[in-house]
Amino acid sequence: MEYRKLGNSELELSAITYGAFAIGGTMWGGTEKKDSIESVQASIDHGVTTIDTAPFYGFGLSEEMIGEAIKPYDRSKVQLLTKFGLVWDGSNNGKGDFFFDADDNGKQVPIYKYSSKENVIKEIEESLKRLKTDYIDLLQIHWPDSTTPISETMEAVETLIQQGKIKAFGVSNYNIEQIKEAQKTVQIASDQVAYSMLNRSIEKDLLPFTIAENIGIIAYSPMERGLLTGKYFTDSKLKENDHRNGYFGKFDLQKVKTLIEELSSLANDKHISIAQLVLRWTTLQKGIAIVLAGARNAEQAISNAKTMDFDLSASELTFINEAIAKID
């Protein structure tokens, strides 16, 4: 495994980071607790020391399982990344930006983006309890909230830093102007944004800015929620309440299939999976600090960790980039 300094912070994080959205179950067709905990532990056992989660993932379940999974390990050697700002329990009293209705076992739950100072403090205390820890390595705002001044949110963050409850702070889904505003109050270590072979929009403006400002990019959805594994084209049975039924529809699936078929020749030559090839390519892109990879069981977790066991040569990267260019 390779460990990288995150932007201007003192954090050293594993290049492949465990992404814990799917194990929460919400929007993913449910979850298996035993498999989920084993996937976290298998990741740590194979060098993935960094875990990224959020209260919204399973309405607290993801954080709870991570708290249970890391109990046997030295806390100082595991980096916990979590977030705040998505409210589902009605505690916002209708305040904030309505985001969407999430499916919770057939029940539609309204989700709000809400990051008032009071809510930030409340959410962090709840996360600390669920994660069974007294500090969070990297706290992140999950989505921008247009109803709360950024300065108010960042004042709450600064208080948490002073209290020692968080080591560093990052944003998520923030644009350049929002980062600039946040930086007036607190140091921004990272911006967690969507980035993949099929979605490279940040390369135009955001990435040059974050590189110049020494802000690390945390890439989420590098596999486009499993689409780039190729499994969807051989076993496309998704549960009815799996959000990917709609999510995959935004892509030209024939082009994606063609890309996967082309990359398969290189993956086969290197005796690796398409998923590992895609993840490794992502880790090698300029300005990308760490890459999130989800796993529903130990086998997937180990495969993700082994992504860093091989490298890609200049000619191999050229081959991959040319294949990607064909579908743009």
Distance from C-alpha of 179 to C-alpha of 181, rounded to nearest angstrom: 5
DSSP character string of 206-251: HHHHHHHHT-EEEEE-TTTTTGGGSGGGT-----TTBTHHHHGGGS
Per-residue buried b or exposed e for 60-71, using 16+ beta carbons within 10 Å of the residue's own CB: bbbbbbbbbbbe
18 is catalytic: no
Q: Which of 3, 18, 57, 135 is catalytic?
A: 57
Sheet arrangement for strand 86-87: 86-87, 107-113, 97-104
Using CB atoms within 10 A of its CB, is residue 29 exposed (0-12), middle (13-18) or buried (19+)? Answer: middle
C-alpha neighbours within 13 Å on the C-beta side of residue 99: 20
Query: And the tokens for 254?
Result: 């024939």
Q: Which residue numbers are catalytic?
A: 57
